[in-house]
Chains A and B, each alone.
Chain A
Amino acid sequence: MDVIGISILHYYVCVYIAYKLSKWEVKINLFNFLTVIVLSIVFSFLIQIPFFYKIRIIISTVNTCLIFKIHFKKDIFTTLKTTFFIILIMLLSEMLIIAVYINVLHIDFAKLYKDKTTNIVLTISLDVIAIFITCLKEKFIKFYTIKDHNNLFNIFFMISIINMLILNYFALYKNLSIIAFCITFVISMIYAIIVLIFLKKNSIINKKEKEYAELKLYTSIIEDLVNDTAKFKHDFNNIMFMIKGYLDNNNFEELKEYFNDKKLQGNEFSDILKFKKIKNAGLKGLLTYKVTTIEANKIKVYIEILNDIDEINMDIMELCRILGILIDNAYESAKNSEEKFIAITFMQQKALNITILNSCNDGVNIPNIYRLGYSTKGSNRGIGLHNVKDIIDKYDNILLQTNFNEDVFIQELYIN
């Protein structure tokens, strides 16, 4: 009975691992469940016959194959490959577990498989370790953000497991001869080199992708700007045409009025071109984007960048997140104020200093605004500032000053 239970558990662990490794869809229904039970019962009966007990690993493999075929409905080759893979993982974890049992817990090897309880404990811990190994692989993929890992990475994974098995085989059954050591050592070295090359390529791809995304954003903003310029040119032509009308009639009085009305002044242009002093495309893109959207909502944005900004001692993505939140807040608060303006300044002194100032008529309770969930109005504002604080607390070289005086709200960021 216990053998049947253990086998059912074991088979489902195998299915789970296969699902984790290959990301295939799996359907568990009554039919599947019944097959697993039947196979487990067959297995438990067969291993009582001495001949079959000797080749139990083959029976188990065939069973696993059948179960995979039923559960995932893939072709025979893929099923075999996955089965082989999982058997390898199982062998590795079995070896680890047995090593622990014998060396650390001092349990007799002969007793391990004979005794009922130790056998159950052994199988369960084996399954746990196998799942753990699979999860480890997934963590690894996430950590290095490896793209297209299904084939290549599984092969690496398999090679490393086989290599470990070979090494252990020699260590357990033969004396660890120099030849054995050399073989595994060479395999490991080749393997390590391949992995390194692979990871390097992978990181280059990731970097390129990031740059590409930044470039795309920036290009779209430039397109908007070109559109704006075209619009401006159109307006300008209209104005010229009207002036020509007044001049043709020698109607100077009305022309004067028209001029005063229109206030054709230089500072009606947007300050956006001043961002050219910022060398990082991503940051420039974000700022340009934010400022254009804010100016579209009739809030004046003044920009002053005193020096070229090329070196920034923090992760640009995180800086963009912080500035995005701060500018959004400035917009929200300026929108409801009387004077409706925002001023953004970059200065490179000893430290890079970024200042965002906005007009603000409501009182702000500064000790409280950085708490989670605090907000003067609307839903997301408090959470935004809390996130800013979390990011900044991570960096020892960044300081944030918040100030409210005389109807302006000021956020200053110092990056050392």
Chain B
Amino acid sequence: MINIMICDDCLEIRNIITNVINDFYKEINFKEFNIVSFDNFHDSIDYAARFKNIYLLDIDLNEEKNGLILGQEIRESDNYLGEMIFITNYSHMGFKVFQYKLKVLDFIDKNYNFQKQLRESILIATKILSKKENGHAEKKLQIKVGSQIYNVLFKDIYYIETIKSSRKVVLYTSNSRLEFYDTLKNLSSLLDDRFIQIHRTIIVNKNYIENVCKDYNNPYVVLKDGVKCMISKDRLKEVMKSWM
């Protein structure tokens, strides 16, 4: 069952959207859906917290708060499970931040090919949501920073290290560097056997080890992209065994 929530302060637009979605689902013969629409902030947040949804939000709500804040507050309560689509008067690159932060599927311009864009977005959102219900995904690490949630696939993780004299740890992948509060002990219990702790402060993904320098006084591993991580002397044997 897919719940679709529309929040727009203009009745006309709410009706247009509802009609487009109804038509579209009829065309592709999809029946398990339910549409609700609101014209204000509070009802939307209440509803969003209870169901897994597709949200269609108007950016320029005629209230103190705009649609982006609504999106932000929905994300604080829904664990990033719904798919969010924004409807705007003019779309610009500045929204990229929110696309990334609020995991927004798309920003649809009211004045440009509205119906076509809406249909496409709804199709993608429906596919994603039904996939989430059925298939089991690849193993991933869920990281919470403030109210933001990052999902990092195990296979993408290069290595994790602690930051000196703080509660923070840093996780590296090929295209990101994430800081969060955790302990290596807890993390190694979450990770699987493709990871190895090579130092009191470092956990490494074995698949990315390219070389091991065995110099007894100063042993280190070289990861992909030439990143060096030191090995503690008493763990050197273990590292060699797993790398060979």
Contacts and interface: CB of A to CB of B under 8 A. Distances in A.
Size band of the A side of the interface? 35 or more
Contact of A396 (B68, B168, B175): B168
B96 A393 contact: no
B101 A368 contact: no
Contact of A367 (B94, B148, B180, B225): B225
Interface string B165-187: 01110001111111111000000
Contact of B93 (A343, A365, A405): A343
Interface residues of B, number: 40
B147 A349 contact: yes
A36 interface: no
B94 A393 contact: no
Interface stretch (A229-237, A281-289, A351-359): A351-359
B244 interface: no
Given A349-B146, A365-B225, A366-B175, A408 B164 contact: no
A416 B180 CA distance: 12
A307 interface: yes
A396 to B, nearest CB: 5
Given A300-B93, A349-B72, A368-B227, A393 B146 contact: no
A401 B96 contact: no
Contact of A341 (B90, B93, B148, B167): B93
A241 to B, nearest CB: 28
A222 interface: no
A267 B176 contact: no
B158 interface: yes
Contacts of A353: 101, 146, 148
A332 interface: no
Contacts of B69: 306-307
Contacts of A410: 97, 100
Given A302-B95, A416-B146, 17 more contacts: A267-B92, A303-B94, A304-B68, A306-B68, A306-B69, A345-B101, A347-B101, A355-B100, A357-B97, A365-B225, A366-B173, A367-B172, A392-B179, A393-B166, A399-B181, A401-B177, A414-B146
* Closest 8 pairs (CB-CB, A-B): A302-B94, A351-B146, A402-B177, A399-B179, A404-B175, A403-B176, A345-B97, A367-B172
Interface of A: 265, 267, 271, 300, 302-304, 306-307, 339, 341, 343, 345, 347, 349-351, 353, 355, 357, 359, 364-368, 370, 392-393, 396, 399-405, 408, 410, 412, 414, 416
